[in-house]
Structure 1
Amino acid sequence: MQRNIVLDTNCLLQIIARKSKNYFLWEGFLNGDYCLCFTTEILEEYEEILCLKTNRLIATMVLEIITQAPNTQRVDAHYHWNLITQDPDDNKFVDCAVFANADFIVSDDKHFKDLENIDFPRVLVVRLEEFARLYRNLDAN
């Protein structure tokens, strides 16, 4: 069964680099092994940070891949839950996860710990290392 995930921007940066130990997760996305859920707001952040950390060409290529891949889900998060108080900018990932009915958000950001104490809506967060382990286990089966 294909998992629906929301990927934090810093985790996206870590998986797209060919020399990264987690590049296999990007290859898995390219192979259609999981569905990447996003909103327009998330895409805008991806673009901004990719341009800062890499360059415009790489940012454009990554965004084109994401927006044109068949294993993505563009979400209209028409309600803002505002569940993360320490860094409200992270709420775009939470809203996307809720409306996409995502299995989890992949993030190493400590602000997502706020979600551990919220029962509704329930949003699971896994660290990138945990997602890599889950992916390897699924791939082995």
Structure 2
Amino acid sequence: MKPSKPLEQKKATEKIKLRRRLRAVIDTNLFISGLFGKDTVSSRLQNHWINLDFILVTSIDIIKEINRVFHYPRIQERFNPREETLKRFFRLIFRKAVITKDRYKTDRITDDPTDNKFLACALEGKADYIVSRDPHLRNLKHYHGIQIVDASTFVSKIADE
């Protein structure tokens, strides 16, 4: 017969199992800077996602935008990225993220309508947070109960969990 775990250890294990992981939509610029930055807030954010400290919620539209931005001439010139880096990154997304079907639409942000895809994805994917440095999103602060924060705030929130 196996010896049983001490009561405190059992309770701690149960709390971990019961804790609901946060769901977050991450903006494209944070993905790109996280791919190429070393020990930056963006790279720490990506590491938290890869380690499953939160659930990444994204969409086909966001994935297309990441691909488009990755191929911008200024990104190519500055970082000289390998295509294999992007392929590996997308494999991670398709394995570890919740990908919405782009069924929701919104027109809340009129100054930059392309940012509405992050709001729609967050609604459809039942996200708790949108993490962005984009002022069009950040100025909203909340959207239908979804908090909109910068990467530092979100990384701190995960560390406190």
C-alpha distance in structure 2 between counterparts of 1:31 and 1:5, whole Å: 14
The reply to whether residue 73 of structure 1 matches residue 101 of structure 2 is: no
Matched, 1:9 2:32: no
Over 3 Å counting, the alpha-carbon distance change for 1:51 and 1:57 in structure 2 is farther
| TM alignment of 1:1-141, pairs within 5 A | 1-17=20-36, 19-22=38-41, 23-52=43-72, 53=75, 54-69=81-96, 72-113=97-138, 115-116=140-141, 121-138=144-161
Provide Cα deviations, 1:10-68, integer angstroms capped at 9, x if missing partner. Answer: 11123233513222322221111111111111100011112332342222211111112
Q: Is the 2:122–2:130 contact (alpha carbons within 8 Å) kept by the matching residues of 1? A: yes
Q: Which moved more, 1:129-138 or 1:109-118?
A: 109-118
> TM-score when scaled to structure 1?
0.84
Rounded Cα–Cα distance in structure 2 between residues aligned with 1:77 and 1:115: 21
Provide runs of 4+ in structure 1 moved above 6 Å: none
Check whether the contact 2:27–2:132 (CA below 8 A) recurs between aligned residues: yes
TM-score scaled by length of structure 2: 0.75
**TM-align CA RMSD:** 1.9
Write out per-residue CA displacement over residues 63-116 of structure 1, whole angstroms, 9 at most, x where no aligned residue. 1111122xx111123131111111000011110001111001000100114534
Which protein shows a greater Rg? 2
Percent of residue pairs bearing the same amino acid type: 25
Conserved 8 A contact 2:26-2:131: yes
Contact 2:138 2:150 in 1 (8 A): no
For these two proteins, the number of residue pairs brought into alignment is: 134
Which letter maps to 2:44?
F
SS in structure 1 opposite 2:23? strand
